[in-house]
Chains A and B, each alone.
Chain A
Amino acid sequence: MINIQNLTKSYRTEEVETLALNNVSIEIKAGEFVAIMGPSGCGKSTLLNILGMLDTATLGHYSFKGEDVVGYSEAKLGVIRKQNIGFIFQNFNLIDELSVAENIELALLYHNIKSPERKNRVTAVMDKVGITHRAKHMPNQLSGGQQQRVAVARAVVGNQTMILADEPTGNLDTAHGQEVMRMLQKLNEEGTTIVMVTHSPTHAKYAKRTINLLDGQIITDDIINE
């Protein structure tokens, strides 16, 4: 599904050039559950942003579903992204002025899906994550765990085949964190590819493969729980 070769990302100021990623190569197959770990500043989020086509590499190749996306315009990347990739963030990033149902539906608004079908899909996915009873509530009326469940629902409502999760449990307590991890695990069992950045070794165990980064380079790439 994803094939990056010799990927490098650098940030340059007047005086300093920082290599966020240095010659990274990874292949991720469809249906994998990959955890990316490493200390702060090692390049985990940078890697995730490039995988999610929110950022572009300075050097290297990135092939998504066999298509080389390096050099694509922002508009074209946006089309690929919305059709294939769902995002889950540490701080949930729900829109405060929209209700739970509206936040989830937002992901479908850019897919040219008609209103009745949108409503059906939103209802189905709310059921799936167990948030139906809060459909009309606003984000600031929900707990952290509930907000993250909404974010998960939003990430999958468009039938995206891949989820990129950036520290999805970072703002949650243990119980809610495990709840979210179980949801991700279930999605993976249903066929969704998941790439997750995490600091937590406990949560990393939900993944089948762990990649460790240090100073922008892959240190280890271990298959776990084969």
Chain B
Amino acid sequence: MLKSYIKIAFRSILKNKLYAAINILGLTLGLVFYLFGGLLATYENSHDQFFENSARVYTIRGNINAESNIGVKQLDNVFSAVAPQIKSNLSEVDAVARTILREFLISVEENNYYEKVRFADPELLEIFDFDFLEGDSSAFAGSNGIIITETIANKYFGNKNPIGETLTLDHENDLTVMAVISDIPQNSHFNSQIVMSMPIGVLIPMVAMERITKFQPDTDWGNSSMGNLTYVMLPETLDREWLQDQMDGIYERFVPDTGRFTPKSFLTGFDVRVLSEANTAIWDVIGIPVISIVEGLGGIVLLIACVNYTNLATAQFMGRAREVGLRKTLGAGQMQLLLQFIIESLTITFFSMLLALVVLEILIPIFNSATGKIIFINYLYTLPWLVLTTVLVGVFSGAYPSYLITKTNPIEALRDVARKGRSAGLIRAVMIGIQFTFSVSILTIVLVVFAQNEKVEESSRIFPKDQIYILDRINVEQMEGRHEVLRNQILNIAYVEDFTLSSQVPYEQNNRSFQASTVLNDIASGISINQLNIDERFIEVYNIPLIAGRKITRKVAMDTHIRENGAVNVMVNELAAKQLGFASSEAAIGQFFYEDEGDKGITTYTIVGVMEDRNILGLFASVKPFVFFMRAASYRLASIKISSNAPISIVQEIEEAWQEVYWDYPMQGKFLDETFQMVYLIFDMGSKSLATFSFIALIIASFGLFGLAAFMAKQKTKEIGIRKVLGASNKQIIQLLIWQFLTPVLWATPLALGIGYFASQTYLNFFAERIGMPYGMLILAGLFGLILSCITVSVHAFRVSKINPIKVLSHE
């Protein structure tokens, strides 16, 4: 019997090649995206599993106070002072270690490169069983020994044994290579490629950090940066809940609530996460569960494909009512008939799955090559999942049409009455409506996302980002004394218009801030104000108008911030002036506000100028209140404003000028646009991925519309014949078919647009600056859907309208 069912299934497929092709293609596409989404999610969520202890390792994250208004909900790290508290108060843990990222110029003989290095506690080598090629974990016994990876070893030492060799940091600090480890595999959070790419290259003992950088990790409660993780390894008898409990206690007891940064007002608590979540932390930080969304989208695309199949199969199966009636007359039971049609559905799904796997085997290597990931299908491991998916999709898609057709009364079926009547028309209308709703909803979301991203990019153009060339890492002590020499060299280059120094440039997501208030004895209840160290050319380079007062200048002594003075003249932006309580920007001129720097005393800031608001952080952040002051030290960046008609060779000329001043430091330069693109990448990737999924979903739904239109036109041939006999012209026939097809589409349009609108609001809510109610997008999406539907049915209507009525109105 099973053989018979499978034979019928094959013959049915061959008999209705168009519909079979549409069904198989639609299901294949759906399966490709569903499987790919699953594979990608599994890959991203299962990083670091090759480390022996990975199941026992956790990271400590910090939950951010929403009122701090820095635009993210969580950090993947905590203050570096937390780890010593864990170590001294939780004897049950097996190991605690921190890593802190810094960038240095590393020199080996004539080779100079900037490298990101990690300062690490020695316990890191207990937590992660790195593969030592040379040396061992005793490399961290002192404060001068470092561990490098084989890539770094090859880069600096070639074939030479690097053990015992010296690396110099910033031409100042000599460190000795004591061990070499294998490069960390790609599927590790250490190699996460999502924005904060920080592969391990050089490991330096944490005890050396204060000596090299002056930073005191054990007592710092004020600094936190993405990627500076705190790891805890537990014994097998303890779990995440236990550690979370302990960390809650440590937060309450040890995180200070006083001092300059009031850490407790910034971080509201700790969040313990398993190691496998470290790779995807960035998404948790910005509050968009990307991996879940990818999986969800894959599921939705598959669902659309299933609905597509159900729609078409329902229409097709109803045309086989006579066969069912005959089978029932010959003695078939309902269950047997159900099984027959389910097996047909499973056969189509099986072919679709095979095709999907072929497509994936072609696409995955291309994807891996483009992204550096190493996804692959482990058939042994995934076979149960593939089989289950095939069965579920086949049964789910085929269940309803199978049930419907097998309900048919045999006599009515033999008279082919079952598919007649208004109820069949209603089913068709509902099916068309569902297809259309899916397609247009997704299209609406895509259009809104693109429009919002366009707004983000457009808003960013307020700064001339393709005309500003940034020089990074000029805050090395040895370089600071020659900043003005560099300025003069650069300004001598043709097409260079201006030059400025600052601690931050637009689009960098740095939120250095402090509590400020106009009330001297109640500073804690003031506002959180962002700070930016600039020189006197900053507002000209970045085209920020001064709307009140004057700009700070080196000609006025009090305009230069010397911490010991306890007072300085500053500029603020409009928002800061408003939040500090001044009635207007003009009213703020000459007024004071204060900062409590703890044991360094109170600093008095006098406002001498107010600048127009600009969204310095840009992207999803809102405009922040800013204070701008001038402090000769700690300029990290130089911004060079270049004429719009400058030749490409200007970068070369800038590099030559740099070499004249800093011959012993390689230049790190890029256009401001690159800084923007690096952070915009997340949104760009997100919208492109969404668009890809949406495009596929639309294609599938279009297949469905096409198939349903073809089927409907075929079903209507008799009616069309009758109408032609009665005098209808071809034009009237086409109009009739289009109208009949579009009626459910028109009903579904408001629903589709409503769903699309509410779904896209979720994305829009993430941004401080958003597009307004996207009426235009909704209308465009609706119109596109209508036009697509019109074209789809017109193809069939045109063909069918030409039929000769006598060919269809024949004797029975």
Residues of A within 8 A of B (CB): 45, 49, 52, 54-55, 75, 78-79, 81-83, 87, 89-91, 93-97, 106-107, 109-111, 138-140, 154, 167, 170-171
Contacts and interface: CB of A to CB of B under 8 A. Distances in A.
Contact of A93 (B421, B718, B729, B804): B718
A95 B811 CA distance: 16
A45 B807 CA distance: 12
Given A90-B811, A140-B420, A106 B726 contact: yes
A56 B323 CA distance: 36
Contacts of A95: 718-719, 722
Contacts of B692: none
B727 A93 contact: no
B425 interface: yes
B812 interface: yes
Contacts, number: 69
23 contacts: A45-B811, A54-B804, A54-B805, A55-B804, A55-B806, A75-B730, A78-B727, A79-B727, A82-B726, A82-B727, A83-B727, A91-B811, A93-B718, A93-B722, A94-B722, A96-B420, A96-B421, A97-B719, A107-B726, A110-B723, A110-B727, A111-B727, A170-B811
Contacts of B804: 54-55
Contacts of A110: 723, 726-729, 732
Contacts of A54: 725, 804-806
Contacts of B424: 97
B494 interface: no
Nearest to A91: B812
B422 interface: yes
Contacts of A90: 811-812
Contacts of B726: 82, 106-107, 109-110, 154
A170 B812 CA distance: 10
Interface string B710-724: 000000001101111
Interface residues of B, number: 25
Contacts of A106: 722-723, 726
B809 interface: yes
Given A82-B726, A170-B811, 19 more contacts: A45-B811, A49-B806, A54-B725, A54-B804, A54-B805, A78-B727, A90-B811, A91-B811, A93-B722, A95-B722, A96-B420, A97-B421, A97-B425, A106-B723, A110-B728, A110-B729, A110-B732, A139-B420, A171-B812
A154 B722 CA distance: 11
B417 interface: yes
A103 to B, nearest CB: 9
A93 B804 CA distance: 15
Interface of B: 417, 420-422, 424-425, 718-719, 721-730, 732, 804-806, 809, 811-812
A218 to B, nearest CB: 21
Interface of B is mostly: helix
A122 to B, nearest CB: 14
B422 A97 contact: yes
A93 B811 contact: no
A153 to B, nearest CB: 13
B152 to A, nearest CB: 76
Nearest to B721: A93
Contacts of A97: 420-422, 424-425, 719
Nearest to B723: A106
A198 to B, nearest CB: 13
A110 B725 CA distance: 11
Interface centre among A55, A90, A95, A96 (most CB of B within 10 A): A96
B421 A138 contact: yes
A87 B72 CA distance: 75
Given A49-B806, A95-B719, A97-B421, A78 B812 contact: no
Interface centre among A75, A83, A89, A97 (most CB of B within 10 A): A97
Nearest to B727: A82
A169 to B, nearest CB: 13
Contacts of A140: 417, 420-421
B284 to A, nearest CB: 55
A93 B718 CA distance: 8
Contacts of B806: 49, 54-55
Given A54-B804, A110-B732, A167 B421 contact: no
A89 B421 contact: no
Contact of B727 (A55, A81, A139): A81
A109 to B, nearest CB: 8
Nearest to B412: A140
A87 B421 contact: no
Contacts of B727: 78-79, 81-83, 107, 110-111
A87 B420 contact: no
- By Cβ-Cβ distance, the 4 closest A-B pairs, closest first, are A82-B727, A96-B420, A110-B727, A91-B812
A52 B721 CA distance: 14
B367 to A, nearest CB: 49
B803 to A, nearest CB: 11
A167 B729 CA distance: 26
A82 B726 CA distance: 6
B786 to A, nearest CB: 23
A94 B417 CA distance: 13
A89 B805 CA distance: 12
B479 to A, nearest CB: 83
B319 to A, nearest CB: 14
Contacts of B809: 89, 91, 93
A90 B728 CA distance: 21
A83 B417 CA distance: 32
A154 B725 CA distance: 11
B722 A167 contact: no
B811 A167 contact: yes
A75 B420 CA distance: 30
Contacts of B721: 93
Contacts of A52: 725
Nearest to A108: B726
A91 B725 CA distance: 15
A176 B732 CA distance: 35
A138 B425 CA distance: 13
B443 to A, nearest CB: 31
A139 B420 CA distance: 9
Contacts of A96: 420-421
A87 to B, nearest CB: 5
B799 to A, nearest CB: 16
Contacts of B722: 93-95, 106
Nearest to B425: A97
A81 B722 CA distance: 13
Contacts of A170: 811
Nearest to A171: B812
A89 B417 CA distance: 18
A151 to B, nearest CB: 10
A96 B425 CA distance: 10
A83 B732 CA distance: 17
Contacts of B422: 97, 138
A87 B806 CA distance: 12
A81 B719 contact: no
A54 B424 CA distance: 30
Contact of B724 (A45, A78, A91, A154): A78
A130 to B, nearest CB: 22
A55 B812 CA distance: 20
A168 to B, nearest CB: 12
Contacts of A111: 727
Contacts of A154: 726
A120 to B, nearest CB: 19
B420 A78 contact: no
A78 to B, nearest CB: 6
Nearest to A154: B726
